[in-house]
Amino acid sequence: MATTEECRAALDKLSDNMRSAGGEVRSAAELDRSVSCHITDLDVTFAGRMADGRIDVRETLEGPPREKAEIRLAMAGDDLVALVGGELNFAKAWGSGRVKLEAGLRDLFRLRKLL
Protein backbone atom coordinates (compact mmCIF):
# COMPACT_ATOMS: atom_id res chain seq x y z
CA MET A 1 0.00 0.00 0.00
CA ALA A 2 1.36 3.41 -1.01
CA THR A 3 2.09 5.88 1.78
CA THR A 4 0.86 9.45 2.06
CA GLU A 5 4.37 10.63 1.14
CA GLU A 6 4.47 8.42 -1.98
CA CYS A 7 1.06 9.76 -3.06
CA ARG A 8 2.19 13.35 -2.54
CA ALA A 9 5.35 12.62 -4.57
CA ALA A 10 3.19 11.13 -7.35
CA LEU A 11 1.06 14.30 -7.46
CA ASP A 12 4.23 16.40 -7.62
CA LYS A 13 5.49 14.26 -10.50
CA LEU A 14 2.14 14.60 -12.28
CA SER A 15 2.38 18.36 -11.84
CA ASP A 16 5.92 18.40 -13.30
CA ASN A 17 4.76 16.26 -16.24
CA MET A 18 1.88 18.66 -16.92
CA ARG A 19 4.17 21.68 -16.83
CA SER A 20 6.64 20.15 -19.30
CA ALA A 21 3.94 18.94 -21.73
CA GLY A 22 3.35 20.61 -25.06
CA GLY A 23 0.56 20.99 -27.62
CA GLU A 24 -3.00 19.97 -26.73
CA VAL A 25 -1.91 18.46 -23.42
CA ARG A 26 -0.36 21.77 -22.36
CA SER A 27 -3.51 23.71 -23.32
CA ALA A 28 -5.65 21.28 -21.31
CA ALA A 29 -3.37 21.75 -18.32
CA GLU A 30 -3.90 25.50 -18.43
CA LEU A 31 -7.22 25.25 -16.57
CA ASP A 32 -7.56 27.34 -13.42
CA ARG A 33 -9.64 25.16 -11.10
CA SER A 34 -9.79 23.94 -7.52
CA VAL A 35 -8.71 20.29 -7.26
CA SER A 36 -9.03 17.52 -4.70
CA CYS A 37 -7.60 14.01 -4.77
CA HIS A 38 -9.01 11.65 -2.14
CA ILE A 39 -6.83 8.62 -1.48
CA THR A 40 -9.48 6.16 -0.39
CA ASP A 41 -7.35 3.49 1.28
CA LEU A 42 -5.45 6.07 3.36
CA ASP A 43 -8.55 8.25 3.88
CA VAL A 44 -6.53 11.37 3.14
CA THR A 45 -7.28 14.20 0.71
CA PHE A 46 -4.85 16.43 -1.13
CA ALA A 47 -6.54 19.75 -1.90
CA GLY A 48 -5.24 22.60 -3.98
CA ARG A 49 -5.44 24.34 -7.30
CA MET A 50 -4.64 23.52 -10.91
CA ALA A 51 -3.27 26.68 -12.52
CA ASP A 52 -0.50 27.73 -14.89
CA GLY A 53 -0.07 24.18 -16.14
CA ARG A 54 0.58 22.60 -12.75
CA ILE A 55 -1.12 21.31 -9.61
CA ASP A 56 -0.38 23.22 -6.42
CA VAL A 57 -1.27 21.03 -3.42
CA ARG A 58 -2.05 23.43 -0.60
CA GLU A 59 -3.45 21.09 2.06
CA THR A 60 -3.29 17.48 3.12
CA LEU A 61 -6.44 16.65 5.07
CA GLU A 62 -7.58 13.64 7.05
CA GLY A 63 -10.74 12.10 5.58
CA PRO A 64 -12.76 13.04 2.51
CA PRO A 65 -12.65 16.52 0.97
CA ARG A 66 -14.19 19.21 3.15
CA GLU A 67 -15.23 21.36 0.20
CA LYS A 68 -16.41 20.38 -3.25
CA ALA A 69 -13.54 21.13 -5.63
CA GLU A 70 -14.21 21.88 -9.29
CA ILE A 71 -12.14 18.81 -10.26
CA ARG A 72 -12.40 15.82 -7.93
CA LEU A 73 -10.41 12.59 -8.07
CA ALA A 74 -10.73 9.55 -5.82
CA MET A 75 -8.65 6.36 -5.93
CA ALA A 76 -6.41 4.06 -3.93
CA GLY A 77 -2.85 5.23 -3.31
CA ASP A 78 -1.32 2.38 -5.31
CA ASP A 79 -3.48 3.34 -8.29
CA LEU A 80 -2.32 6.98 -8.14
CA VAL A 81 1.32 5.89 -8.06
CA ALA A 82 0.73 3.42 -10.94
CA LEU A 83 -1.14 6.01 -13.05
CA VAL A 84 1.60 8.60 -12.72
CA GLY A 85 4.27 5.95 -13.28
CA GLY A 86 2.62 4.87 -16.54
CA GLU A 87 1.79 1.39 -15.25
CA LEU A 88 -2.00 1.89 -15.16
CA ASN A 89 -4.12 3.16 -18.05
CA PHE A 90 -6.41 5.97 -16.90
CA ALA A 91 -9.29 5.14 -19.26
CA LYS A 92 -9.37 1.50 -18.17
CA ALA A 93 -9.08 2.41 -14.48
CA TRP A 94 -11.85 5.01 -14.82
CA GLY A 95 -14.08 2.64 -16.80
CA SER A 96 -13.67 -0.10 -14.20
CA GLY A 97 -14.38 2.25 -11.28
CA ARG A 98 -10.90 2.08 -9.78
CA VAL A 99 -10.51 5.81 -10.41
CA LYS A 100 -13.30 8.33 -10.00
CA LEU A 101 -13.17 11.70 -11.73
CA GLU A 102 -15.86 14.33 -11.29
CA ALA A 103 -15.87 17.72 -12.96
CA GLY A 104 -18.07 19.95 -15.06
CA LEU A 105 -18.79 18.79 -18.60
CA ARG A 106 -16.54 21.38 -20.27
CA ASP A 107 -13.69 20.54 -17.92
CA LEU A 108 -14.11 16.81 -18.60
CA PHE A 109 -13.74 17.45 -22.35
CA ARG A 110 -10.54 19.41 -21.77
CA LEU A 111 -9.16 16.98 -19.19
CA ARG A 112 -9.53 14.00 -21.53
CA LYS A 113 -6.53 15.38 -23.45
CA LEU A 114 -4.46 15.08 -20.28
CA LEU A 115 -5.60 11.59 -19.50
CB 70 within 8 A of CB 43: no
Q: What is the pLDDT of residues 32-70, one digit of tens each?
A: 999 999 999 999 999 999 998 889 999 999 999 999 999
How confident is the model at residue 30, as a pLDDT? Answer: 77
How confident is the model at residue 56, as a pLDDT? Answer: 94
Mean pLDDT of all residues in 85-100: 94
Which string of DSSP letters, residue by residue, matches 80-103?
HHHHHTTSS-HHHHHHTTSSEEEE
C-alpha 60, offset from chain centre: 14
Q: Which has the closest alpha carbon to 39: 72, 85, 88, 86?
A: 72
CA distance 40 to 100: 11
